[in-house]
């Protein structure tokens, strides 16, 4: 999958329902800007006009607007959005963040 993400400019995830999407995590870790449905956990990871755009999957005009915004980004802006995606992925989805959160489940306050 790494080669598929490396050949892409933007990642798009149109869906009516999501939890924490593995494909979104992979795309962000690969440094791609994201255009996703504003559903499930997507808004935890896609920050409007910072690393991507969110849309209402029930409104075709919303989908088109988000895609238009992404496609209008310059090469430099795409790179900035991609770097921000990578940073968000590292901070929220990387093994250190996972381990920290997983261990917190077992900790009890005394």
Q: Which domains does the chain have, with CATH numbers?
A: 2-106 (3.40.50.2000)
Distance CA 28, CA 81 (A): 10
pLDDT on residue 95: 81
pLDDT on residue 100: 82
* Ranges under pLDDT 50 in the chain: none
What are the backbone angles phi and psi of residue 5, rounded to the nearest 5°? -65, -35
Distance CA 57, CA 9 (A): 21
Give the pTM.
Answer: 0.85
């Amino acid at each position: 999958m790494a080669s598929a993400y490396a050949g892409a400019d933007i990642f798009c995830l149109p869906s009516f329902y999501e939890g924490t999407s593995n494909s979104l995590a992979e795309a962000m870790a690969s440094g791609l800007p994201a255009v996703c449905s504003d559903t499930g956990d997507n808004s935890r990871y896609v920050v409007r006009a910072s690393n991507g755009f969110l849309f209402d999957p029930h409104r075709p005009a919303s989908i088109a607007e988000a895609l238009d915004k992404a496609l209008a980004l310059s090469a430099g802006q795409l790179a900035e959005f991609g770097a921000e995606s990578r940073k968000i992925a590292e901070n929220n989805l990387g093994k250190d963040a996972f381990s920290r959160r997983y261990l917190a489940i077992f900790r009890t306050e005394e």
